[in-house]
């Protein structure tokens, strides 16, 4: 899950970080972020109302050295030996299950020392009903507040060119009550959601060395701080493109009949 997110020119990065970072660090990060968005930095990241991880977009992230960087979505472990292997594995590493990040070979080294923050406006998830799928957009109850996602990243050197690729996975955890209602894919073992870090825990996610303390951070985000609504189709002939329209509420008759859930 969490294969589609929204990452935009958010005006409230300072607000998002206010309780965890010193003001001078917040100001520094904010200026770096604005440069990335405006294309003034050496490397820029395209921002989206809706983007799928399967196109491997660049996401803007905060790394442990407290800098803003663009990191490609789909983690490539440092030990991968060829571009062919890299392309294959990144299709499977858009997400990293929080329960096993210290065990899985693709993630365990990054989980120890290469954790990052990915700020997004929201994310998208499908609800399944009577053989059909209905996309939902999930955002913070305070629309000015982005979600601060916990990620892990890696730096992989292409053996043919020497080029360094920074890549990331979004860590996931058990779904809360809201995600249990929405994320009901019968093929899954249970509802999931991205790891949304609570205020006051951002620097700990970046810099904590104790495995047990890191694992304590991997938990569902309170559903009372989230809101969700159905949106336009994300695929097929009626697909709504990456635009403001992709975040507008859509009323589906079938879901109205299931009003006790939504």
> pLDDT tens digits for 154-203?
999 999 999 999 999 999 999 999 999 998 887 777 889 999 999 999 99
Comparing 7 with 208, which gets the higher pLDDT?
208
Q: Is 140 left (phi over 0), alpha (psi -120 to 50) or beta?
A: beta
- What pLDDT was estimated at residue 176? 96
- Domains annotated for the chain, with CATH where assigned, are 4-124+146-175+194-223 (3.90.1680.10)
**Sequence-separated contacts (24+) of 40-46 with Cβ below 8 Å:** 43/70, 44/70, 45/70
Specify burial of residue 258 (Cβ count, 10 A radius: 0-12, 13-18, 19+).
middle
- What pLDDT was estimated at residue 189? 79
Which of 88, 69, 93, 97 minimizes the C-alpha distance to 164?
A: 69
Alpha carbon distance 106, 99 (integer Å): 14
- Rounded to two decimals, what is the model's pTM? 0.92
Handedness of CA 24, 29, 34, 36 (dihedral sign): positive
Confidence at 2, pLDDT banded by 50, 70, 90: low
Other C-beta atoms within 10 Å of 162: how many?
A: 7
- What pLDDT was estimated at residue 88? 97
Confidence at 7, pLDDT banded by 50, 70, 90: confident
Alpha carbon distance 101, 95 (integer Å): 10
Alpha carbon distance 234, 241 (integer Å): 8
Confidence at 6, pLDDT banded by 50, 70, 90: confident
Q: Which 8-state DSSP code applies to residue 236?
A: S
Which of 167, 166, 192 minimizes the C-alpha distance to 100?
A: 192
3 state DSSP class of 41: coil
- What pLDDT was estimated at residue 178? 95
Q: Is the pLDDT of residue 4 over 70?
A: yes
Cα 198 to Cα 30, 133, 146, 258: the distances in Å are: 19, 30, 11, 31
Cα 180 to Cα 111, 127, 131, 172: the distances in Å are: 26, 10, 18, 14
Mean pLDDT across 96-109? 97
- What pLDDT was estimated at residue 261? 52
């Amino acid at each position: 899950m969490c294969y589609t997110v929204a990452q935009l020119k958010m005006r409230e990065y300072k607000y998002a970080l206010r309780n965890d970072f010193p003001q001078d660090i917040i100001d520094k990060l904010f200026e770096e972020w604005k440069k990335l968005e405006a294309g003034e930095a050496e490397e820029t990241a395209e921002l989206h109302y809706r983007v799928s991880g399967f196109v491997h977009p660049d996401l803007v992230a905060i790394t442990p050295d407290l800098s803003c960087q663009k990191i490609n979505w789909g983690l490539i472990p440092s030990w991968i030996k060829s571009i062919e292997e890299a392309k294959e594995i990144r299709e499977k590493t858009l997400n990293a299950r929080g329960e096993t990040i210290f065990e899985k070979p693709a993630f365990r080294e990054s989980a120890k020392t290469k954790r990052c923050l990915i700020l997004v406006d929201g994310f998208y998830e499908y609800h399944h009903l009577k053989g059909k799928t209905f996309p939902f957009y999930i955002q913070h109850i305070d629309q000015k507040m982005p979600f601060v996602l916990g990620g892990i990243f890696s730096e992989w050197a292409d053996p043919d060119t020497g080029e360094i690729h920074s890549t990331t996975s979004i860590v996931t955890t058990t779904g809360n009550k809201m995600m249990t209602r929405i994320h009901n894919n019968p093929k899954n073992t249970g509802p999931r959601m991205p790891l949304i870090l609570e205020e006051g825990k951002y620097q700990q996610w970046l810099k904590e060395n104790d495995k047990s303390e890191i694992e304590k951070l991997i938990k569902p985000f309170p559903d009372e701080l989230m809101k969700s609504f159905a949106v336009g189709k994300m695929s097929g002939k009626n697909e709504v493109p990456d635009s403001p329209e992709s975040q507008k509420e859509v009323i589906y008759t079938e879901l109205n009949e299931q009003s006790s859930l939504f």
